[in-house]
Amino acid sequence: MVVLVNYSYISGMESQELVLIGDAVKHRLKFDPEIWEHFHQSIKTINRKQSQSFKIPLTVYSGDSFGAICKDLHSACNVVLSLQANLRPYAARIVLIEDDILYGIDKNSFLTLEGPALWRSKQLIENLRKSKASFMAELQDELQTITLNTILNLILSIRADWNELEWEVYKSLGTLHTQGEIAVQLQVSQQYISKILTKSKLRLVQAAEHNLRKILHGINTTLDIKQH
């Protein structure tokens, strides 16, 4: 006899969460210990540096797949961008879905989770494979979904073509104020920095990230007002 249990009726087990799931791209072409080590170390680095972003930290499963529960949309966006930055030169497909977790959230282990959020996330990963895109969100609020899918895919697609020097210039934009300071730090000419800023659309990416944070803050503020 088979007994079907509807976990949603068990008090205290159901909750709506932000589930992030992803997998490495082109990982199965050939096993390489260095790539494997880089992948795992990148996940550990993000968990350590962004521990406040998670309810349940990034967990590797099925070899090259990973998942986490994020605390909020701002945290989730930061994690998505950090995954691309840390996993490079390798790429990943990432989905973010807001839906129910019916079981396991109290276990503090991603591997124990069950519910529509997990089932739907797996479907979205398959959709990403077919579309060749890098990111897909499916949230309860349509405006949030459109915002994240549009801006994050723009940022990720531009950054995917950067070389190591372009990434270094990008990181320096957050700490140094002038092109001259960046040029001195990276030991290149100021003219070359100016060329990189234009060619690699670094200022556009920086502005997109800034505006995404402002938009999400505005959306959340509006939702708070409506709830009251």
Q: Does any domain span residue 50?
A: yes
* Domain membership flag for residue 34: yes
| Residue 56: strand, helix, or coil | strand
Q: Would you say residue 26 lies in a domain? A: yes
CATH number at residue 116: 3.30.70.1230
Q: How many domains does the chain have?
A: 1
Looking at the domain assignment, is residue 77 inside a domain? yes
Round to whole Å and give the CA distance between 97 and 119. 10
120 in Cβ contact with 138 (< 8 Å): yes
Q: Which domain holds residue 59?
A: 14-157
Kindly list the averaged pLDDT for each block of 10 residues, start to end, along the chain of length 228.
41 77 72 82 96 95 90 95 92 94 88 90 87 91 92 95 93 81 90 91 92 80 44
How far, CA to CA in Å, does 23 sit from each of 26, 48, 72, 142, 163? 10, 20, 21, 25, 22
Single pTM value for the model: 0.85
- Looking at residue 6, its pLDDT comes to 45
Phi, psi of 78 (to 5 degrees): -60, -40
Q: Say what the pLDDT of residue 226 is.
A: 45
